Amino acid sequence: MHRQYVLKTLALASLSSVALFIFRAFYFQSTEYWYLLWNLFLAWLPLLFAGILVQQLQSQRWLRWKSMLTTILWLGFLPNSFYLVTDFIHLQHTVNESLLYDSVLIFSFSLNGFILGYLSLAMIHKELKKRLQPRDVMIVLGFIFLACSFAIYLGRYLRWNTWDVLINPAGILFDVTDQFINPAAYGQSFLTTALFFVFITSTYAIICQFASLLQFKKRK
């Protein structure tokens, strides 16, 4: 019952963002930000895969091929949840007449993306804590945050998408390896990755602290 309530709330929040887009499309006679709808859809996928993985782990080990495949899918789509915030870059092309509305519009979509991403991450975090020592959990989470941050760079600046891993793996592998072979030529790569790593990690840490505080008060 609690899970259904959360899902309904998340769906309502996403529909509110969609409603803002539809209103903008009619009011300003433009579908300029149509890609926000697609990006929000992609942001829902990590939560879907996290839910499937949690169900699988109730009856099988994590190292079974089904669980591993779902984990890969979850991790592959997770950066899309945080990627939405980079759409603020498009505001530089927005006319003054719609600047304020567009700022709220993008914030609405990116906020929903972060909530969906962090919720799916919290579900995986909970499963990790059942199986690993606290230090190991932090190492795994650090790797996840780093992978997401680098993926955001690949998506925003090199224009790679999640499905390109299947469609053009050689191209992605070339670009990724070239980053490490010629690091001096990719200063933006390390700066962007570090920026999002700090932002995503610190925000999640704050959320976890608030969640722990609420649970502590509830026990009292």
∠ Cα 179 156 35 (to 5°): 155
Q: What is the pTM of this model?
A: 0.89
Q: Is 45 left (phi over 0), alpha (psi -120 to 50) or beta?
A: alpha
Q: Is pLDDT at 1 greater than 60 in this prediction?
A: no
Closest CA to 208 of 119, 132, 136: 119
| Mean pLDDT to the nearest integer, 72-100 | 90
Q: What is the residue extent of each domain of the chain?
A: 2-219
**Six token digits for residue 154:** 């690949």
Q: What is the pLDDT of residue 188?
A: 80
pLDDT band at 165 (very low <50, low <70, confident <90, very high): confident
Distances (CA, A) of 41 to 17, 34, 156, 207: 12, 12, 17, 23
pLDDT, tens digit, 9 for 90 and up, residues 48-60: 999 999 999 999 8
Q: Compare 26 and 217 and report the one with higher pLDDT.
A: 26
Q: Is pLDDT at 43 greater than 60 in this prediction?
A: yes
Q: What is the pLDDT of residue 216?
A: 59
Distances (CA, A) of 146 to 23, 67, 152: 37, 22, 10
Above pLDDT 90, what percent of the chain? 65
Q: What is the pLDDT of residue 218?
A: 61
Q: Is pLDDT at 183 greater than 80 in this prediction?
A: no
Q: Is pLDDT at 162 greater than 70 in this prediction?
A: yes
Q: Over the chain, what is the mean pLDDT?
A: 89
The alpha carbon torsion through 115, 118, 123, 127 (nearest 10 deg) reads: -170
